[in-house]
């Protein structure tokens, strides 16, 4: 079988050096990569590097090997075009259909999925000109990955960093796996909670649970690849931020509730994949609870935490918003799941059976997705990503 053909466009920003790692990941995982740098980007990484790492000659202009019509062929032959980093200038040229070098010609002739990973200073990213160009590209079906927040060139920090190269590669891998399927969550804002809350008992102890957050992160990554704007609210996962997702942190159920309620106000979909503690200690001891000689410990009194899923499901202030819950059950899995779907009032409920190898901390999952309209979709044992894609298929079908 032919290797999938990827065009890696590189425009002129300091983050160009990180594209070397994107290229390595792509070639090492069996992709045939043609690097198309802009002239400006060669100030940062030279053509010799791209040529050596990709195994192909590299050109910035349409005037080399004209008999092979590279300005048309390169784009036509590609299964995926990814531009990393995409500067403000490159986004502007792409949005306006300019064709003044090989990369912009390639973008005009490509009929495959196109991904832009922008990187620039915060002011340039936030400028209305850039934001309008990004909106135009997204409206036309391109996936534009939100930049990460962090250290920029020089001493400043803010939004505009190129996401981790490994995460950009993950987005590319997922989009290639989808073939020519359109980014069906484009224009949708999805909010996903992931991980497990910790309810503090004293400064050194907490009540927690075994949720790793992997299923929630798989949902975030697949949603980015399907074009969504993703807000991921994570509780105690320690996992690397997925490229393109805005990541917010919450520790306790109360913090998670506040973050979810605020983000949900503007969301089209809310997925509660986090394991939220149902109870918290009634009293937080400000000093460490000590052993007392010869005495049994005091019992710990618990109080109920708010049910975030039920609250969001009951809030009809945003008609059309789709709410998805998760349920981990050990017994009478389906019967409990159906009852929970009714009780929580959500649109979809993903029911997992908890057991050895399944669910907590593992890379795989097996589930049945129950819908409020009575549909029941079994998802066979497999990667958490496959379950995530089934959830998004069902969500996208409900948007019609």
Active site residues: 209
Please check if 326 is assigned to a binding site. yes
Distance of CA 160 to the CA centre of its chain: 16
15 interacts with ligand CTP by CB under 6 A: no
State the DSSP code for 45: S
In whole angstroms, how close is the CB of 355 to ligand CTP at the nearest point?
Answer: 15
Q: Which of 39, 202, 278, 393 binds ligand CTP (CB under 6 A)?
A: 278
Please check if 288 is assigned to a binding site. yes
Per-residue x/- mask for ligand CTP, residues 320 to 339, rule CB under 6 A? -----xxxx-----------
222 interacts with ligand CTP by CB under 6 A: no
Q: What's phi and psi for 367, nearest 5 deg?
A: -160, 170
In whole angstroms, how close is the CB of 154 to ligand CTP at the nearest point?
Answer: 41
Please check if 309 is assigned to a binding site. yes
Please check if 278 is assigned to a binding site. yes
232 interacts with ligand CTP by CB under 6 A: no
Per-residue x/- mask for ligand CTP, residues 108 to 137, rule CB under 6 A? ------------------------------
233 interacts with ligand CTP by CB under 6 A: no
What residues between 246 and 275 interact with ligand CTP by CB under 6 A?
253, 272, 274
State the DSSP code for 331: S
Name the CA dihedral angle for 97, 103, 106, 107, rounded to a multiple of 10 degrees.
-40
Q: Is the backbone of residue 368 left (phi > 0), alpha (psi -120 to 50) or beta?
A: beta
Please check if 384 is assigned to a binding site. no
Closest CA to 383 of 115, 193, 177, 169: 177
Q: Which of 41, 54, 231, 305 binds ligand CTP (CB under 6 A)?
A: 305
220 interacts with ligand CTP by CB under 6 A: no
State the DSSP code for 283: S
Residues 14, 16: Cα–Cα separation, whole Å: 5
Alpha helices in the chain (DSSP H): 16-28, 47-54, 70-77, 88-95, 102-109, 122-126, 128-139, 165-177, 214-225, 253-264, 308-314, 333-344, 384-399
Please enumerate, by residue number, every residue annotated as part of a binding site. 278, 288, 306-309, 326, 340, 344
Binding site for ligand CTP (CB under 6 A): 253, 272, 274, 276, 278, 305, 307-309, 325-328, 340
Please enumerate, by residue number, every residue annotated as part of a binding site for CTP. 278, 288, 306-309, 326, 340, 344
């Amino acid at each position: 079988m032919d290797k999938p053909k990827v065009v890696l466009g590189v425009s002129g920003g300091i983050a160009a050096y990180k594209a070397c790692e994107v290229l390595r990941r792509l070639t090492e995982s069996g992709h045939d990569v043609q690097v198309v740098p802009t002239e400006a980007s060669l100030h940062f990484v030279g053509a010799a590097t791209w040529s050596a790492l990709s195994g192909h000659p590299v050109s910035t202009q349409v005037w080399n090997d004209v008999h092979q019509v590279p300005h048309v062929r390169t784009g036509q032959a590609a299964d995926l075009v990814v531009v990393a980093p995409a500067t403000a200038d490159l986004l502007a040229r792409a949005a306006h259909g300019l064709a003044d070098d090989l990369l912009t010609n390639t973008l005009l002739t490509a009929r495959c999925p196109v991904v832009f990973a922008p990187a620039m200073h915060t002011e340039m990213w936030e400028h209305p000109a850039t934001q309008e160009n990004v909106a135009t590209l997204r409206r036309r079906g391109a996936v534009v990955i939100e930049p990460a927040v962090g250290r920029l060139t020089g001493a400043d920090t803010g939004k505009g960093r190129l996401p981790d190269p490994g995460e950009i590669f993950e987005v590319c891998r997922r989009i290639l796996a989808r073939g020519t399927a359109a980014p069906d969550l484009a224009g949708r804002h999805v909010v996903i909670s992931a991980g497990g809350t910790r309810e503090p008992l004293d400064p050194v102890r907490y009540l927690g649970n075994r949720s790793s957050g992997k299923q929630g992160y798989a949902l975030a990554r697949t949603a980015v690849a399907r074009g969504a704007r993703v807000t991921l609210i994570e509780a105690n996962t320690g996992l690397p931020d997925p490229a393109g997702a805005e990541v917010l942190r919450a520790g306790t159920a109360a913090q998670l509730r506040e973050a979810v309620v605020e983000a949900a106000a503007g969301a089209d979909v809310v997925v509660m994949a986090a394991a939220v503690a149902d109870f918290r200690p009634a009293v937080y001891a400000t000093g460490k609870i000590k052993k007392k000689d010869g005495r049994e410990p005091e019992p710990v009194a618990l109080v109920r935490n708010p049910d975030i899923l039920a609250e969001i499901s009951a809030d009809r202030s945003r008609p059309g918003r789709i709410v998805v819950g998760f349920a981990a059950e050990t017994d009478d899995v389906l019967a409990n799941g159906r009852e929970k779907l009714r009780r929580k009032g959500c649109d979809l409920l993903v029911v997992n059976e908890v057991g050895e190898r399944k669910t907590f901390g593992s890379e795989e999952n097996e589930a049945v997705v129950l819908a409020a309209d009575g549909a029941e979709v079994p998802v066979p044992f497999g990667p958490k990503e496959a379950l995530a894609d089934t959830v998004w298929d069902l969500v996208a079908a409900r948007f019609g």
